[in-house]
Chain A
Amino acid sequence: EAQVTQNPRYLITVTGKKLTVTCSQNMNHEYMSWYRQDPGLGLRQIYYSMNVEVTDKGDVPEGYKVSRKEKRNFPLILESPSPNQTSLYFCASSFLATNEKLFFGSGTQLSVL
């Protein structure tokens, strides 16, 4: 089954404790992206990648890091989480072509205390 898998689904942590949210897709997609969803703001792009070893900032990259060492994986790293990073996070992927449909993971609800 074609899917984007994120882990964990729920995560509660404390300020400053490094964490990683994993994302994996099985559709051989070149393009992968991370979004955060906040009430009243919709989804905002954090980082994206157009292929292995190619990553770039989205609209809200501060406090986040990503890597793309393999085509299928695109982890999101919070080196020193802060309470304002409490949010619902989505990973998405697609083929690298104009107007391609994005496939989304089920989301990771992060709470930073």
Chain B
Amino acid sequence: AQSVTQLGSHVSVSEGALVLLRCNYSSSVPPYLFWYVQYPNQGLQLLLKYTSAATLVKGINGFEAEFKKSETSFHLTKPSAHMSDAAEYFCAVSERGDNKLIFGAGTRLAVHP
């Protein structure tokens, strides 16, 4: 069965610092992988998705993620955090050919001045 593990339910960084949010997945077949962001009192929005075209995926708002098959990881990074990045971030996986997403538990990112 597919599953997603996000390491760290809370991450705190200073404005301008590197953001690293960790995601590991388990899947019996090569998966599709996603990162979604949830701002306070809003629904989820897609940040980026991996579709096997390239292992380094660039998304919106300066975020990117690298698919590493050997590590079964899809960590999300941003070189320089901004106050507006404070939100909850969810990693998700789906099997190829399936619209269903399996979500991780989420990581809440706090950005301090």
The interface of chain A, by Cβ under 8 A from chain B, is 4, 31, 33, 35, 40-45, 48, 50, 58, 90, 92, 94, 96, 98-102, 104-107
Contact = CB atoms under 8 A, between A and B. Distances in A.
A101 B34 CA distance: 9
Contacts of B105: 40-42
Given A42-B105, A42-B106, A58 B100 contact: yes
Contacts of B104: 42
A100 B49 CA distance: 10
Given A42-B90, A42-B103, A45-B101, 5 more contacts: A35-B103, A102-B44, A104-B43, A105-B43, A107-B41
Q: Is the interface of B mostly helix, strand, loop or mixed?
A: loop
B113 interface: no
Interface string B69-113: 000000000000000000000100010111111011110000000
28 contacts: A31-B99, A33-B100, A40-B105, A41-B105, A42-B4, A42-B6, A42-B90, A42-B106, A43-B103, A48-B99, A58-B100, A90-B43, A90-B44, A92-B43, A98-B32, A98-B97, A98-B98, A99-B49, A99-B51, A102-B36, A102-B44, A102-B99, A102-B101, A104-B44, A104-B45, A105-B43, A106-B42, A107-B43
Contacts of B9: 40
Contact of A102 (B4, B6, B46): B46
Contacts of B46: 101-102
A11 to B, nearest CB: 15
Given A106-B42, A107-B43, A101 B103 contact: no
A80 to B, nearest CB: 27
